[in-house]
Chains A and B, each alone.
Chain A
Amino acid sequence: MNGLGGKPRVVLVDDHGLFRSGVRAELGLRVQVVGEADDVQSAIELITRTEPDVVLLDVHLPSGGGHDVIAAVKARLPEVRFLALSASDAPEDVIAVIRAGARGYVTKTIGTGELADAIERIASGDAVFSHRLAGFVLDAFAAMPPGGGGGGAGAADKPSFDPELDQLTTREREVLRLIAQGYTYKEIAKELFISVKTVETHVSSVLRKLQLSTRHQLTRWATERRLA
């Protein structure tokens, strides 16, 4: 799927032209930018036409959110991967974009090199959690007592309750905590005496739980945040 010279083909979706041109100029050497869009409708049209490897997607867009773009494209083009980014993020918006299908989230203050790393990681099928997203996810799953037996109350009013999906393992929690503390995957691997690949597996597993969990706490958490 990769474009010329193994560079990932990237579409930029952001309503700030200044930001798009900045990213385009900075990333020019490591990725191939195949198109830019500034709202939901033109983004859907562009992605369907160009079928990129990675879409760099602003969480907030005029006429909708980033999750609307993912929802519209996901069914037709499941192989297109999304990396969400935003400048000023309310946690519930970020979680919504991830739940819609984005494979990662970074803030716009991210350095150029790190952004290129993140895009390559997404292109190769891994997940990318920034320290802020790790914090949001820990927060969202924190409502649940840790350990296997905590599903009692939830199971009562939710028959399809799946404890596997609705908990983070101790190891996943550890990985997320370290990401939240600013560790890189390499540093986490060293700290926990595991391989980088294992770290990536843990992160992908957290992502899967975040996207597939039917846990109503996740929804409630978002609702509470919005009301607060």
Chain B
Amino acid sequence: MASGIAAWRGFSPTSVRIAFALLTVFTSGDGSALYVAAWLFIPARGEDHSIGARALKDAKGIALAIGLATLLTIVLLIAGVFNDGWFAGWAWPQVFSLAGLTLIWRNGDPDEQASLKRLVEPLEAAATGGRENMKWAAIRVLAAGVLLITGVSILATSHESLALLRPLGAIALVVAAIVLFLGPWWLRIGRDLVAERQARIRTEERAKEREEIASRVHDSVLQTLALIQRRAEDPQKVVQLARLQERELRDWLFGGKVPGDTSAETFAAAVRQVQSDVESRYGVPVEVVTVGDCELDENLSALVAAAREATINAAKWSGASVISLFAETEAGAASVVVRDRGQGFDPEQVPADRKGLTESIHGRMARRGGTATVTSATGEGTKVSLSMPRAESTASPA
């Protein structure tokens, strides 16, 4: 509203508001009446008619305004009888303001009605007790009323008696009354604000969690699905991708392992690592079963390395559609069996310059006291059994 006058006369809204406030103080209330009058009769920016013009057609509103103004006048007149002369100085602006605000409330636009409602709400809340228990509300209002009456009566009588300290005490009492009267409402607003902020923080945390999951699903599942769509004509590749994704998802869901984390700390995890490496490099599914588990030491690392070699051999040469990888941890030893149903070979006929079998498997195992047995016959598949004694008995019965 102040900005309206400012725009109309060319001043800044702030200076207009300050002028009105000063006017109100110096004229004991006439300023507020002037403000309401301006609100009524100056059209808001972007509108053709002032609220006052609309109010003229609102007979009911005018009746209400006159009624309320009359009521207030009577109340003030009665007060004036007990306090001669006081009425004349203060009452007219108030009566006019009340009537004006009533008209504005009925004819203003929704924004103005909302701001008026906010002005009225604490009074309503005080009257009805808001959400409080009725008994407490009654006590509160009563206390506020007593304080208010005491304060006002001291104020009213202070101009006759010249005790300087009494007005100060009276003001304190009035302030206390206001606090008692409006306190709960302010408190509620404060609580609502705090609750709103906490809700916002919780929402943000949840959003962050969701983002994290979304990014993981994107990095793994969605990428894989995209790949599968592009490789749809290659069933082998599709199966391989699906298996890779299944394993990664299973590790994440049941093992708590972050996708992409490749460091294996236990024997069983190292064996699964072999599985995923061979599947992704050679495209042959590897069925893994692990029984028991324990920490990975040097002996077991050698066992896993030999098993990896055997699995890669099977993937490269056997032509089998699936490779079985079985790893078991027992109290005294750990063993791995790599098996395929591929074409097989005759171990006697392997050329001497092929180092894979002799060095990478037999040699690796023998150096640490383990054994390797290769069973294979042409057309009947291959089975590589590896066994490694365990350095110390720390079998964790998984």
CB distance from A2 to the nearest CB of B (A): 32
Contact of A177 among B246, B328, B383, B398 (CB under 8 A): B328
B side interface size, CB within 8 A: 23
- Are the C-beta atoms of B398 and A88 separated by less than 8 Å? no
Beta-carbon contact of B289 and A132 below 8 Å: yes
The count of A-to-B residue pairs whose CB atoms sit within 8 angstroms is 54
Q: Are A180 and B397 in contact (CB under 8 A)?
A: no
B277 at the interface (CB under 8 A from A): no
How far apart sit A172 and B341, CA to CA, in the bound complex (Å)? 23
- Knowing A88-B246, A143-B397, the reply to whether A131 touches B324 (Cβ < 8 A) is yes
* Given A139-B292, A181-B337, CB of A131 within 8 Å of CB of B253: no
Point out which of A182, A217, A221, A228 has the most chain B C-beta atoms below 10 A from its C-beta: A182
Asked whether A135 is an interface residue with its Cβ less than 8 Å from the other chain, the reply is yes
Give a binary string over B323-350; 1 marks a CB under 8 Å from any A CB, 0 the rest: 0101011110000010101000000000
Residue of A nearest to B290 (CB): A135
Contact A182 B287 (CB under 8 A): yes
Asked if A23 is at the interface (CB within 8 A of a chain B CB), the reply is no
Q: Chain B CB within 10 Å — which of A132, A145, A181 has the most?
A: A181
- The 8 Å CB contact of B339, one of A90, A145, A182, A217, is A182
**Per DSSP, are chain A's interface residues mostly helix, strand or loop, or mixed?**
helix
**Residue contact A180 to B292, C-beta cutoff 8 Å:** no
A134 touches B (CB below 8 Å): yes
- CB-CB contacts below 8 Å: A200-228 with B: 217, 221, 224-225, 228
B289 near A88 (CB under 8 angstroms)? no
Give Cα distance in the complex from A145 to B397, angstroms: 10
B residues near A182, Cβ cutoff 8 Å: 287, 322, 324, 326, 339, 341
Q: Chain A residues with Cβ under 8 A from B331's Cβ?
A: 145
Q: A135-B290, A142-B330, A142-B397 are in contact. Are A90 and B324 (CB under 8 A)?
A: no
In the complex, the answer to whether B254 meets A90 with C-beta atoms within 8 Å is yes
Q: How far is the CB of A23 from chain B (nearest CB, A)?
A: 18
In the complex, what distance in Å separates the CA atom of A139 from the CA atom of B294? 13
Which of these, B253, B287, B290, B292, contacts A88 with CB under 8 Å? B253
A199 to B185, CA, bound (A): 81
A residues in contact with B291, CB < 8 Å: 135, 138-139, 142, 180
Closest partner residue, chain B, to A220 (CB atom): B397
- 8 Å CB contacts to A: which residues of B226-251? 246, 249-250
CA distance A181 to B291 in the complex (A): 11
Q: Can you name 10 A-B pairs with beta carbons within 8 Å?
A: A88-B246, A139-B291, A139-B398, A142-B397, A180-B291, A181-B324, A182-B326, A217-B397, A224-B398, A228-B398
* A residues at B contact (CB < 8 Å): 88, 90, 131-132, 134-135, 138-139, 142-143, 145, 177, 180-183, 217, 221, 224-225, 228
**10 closest pairs, A vs B, by CB?**
A135-B289, A182-B324, A143-B397, A180-B289, A138-B291, A181-B326, A139-B291, A181-B324, A142-B292, A180-B326
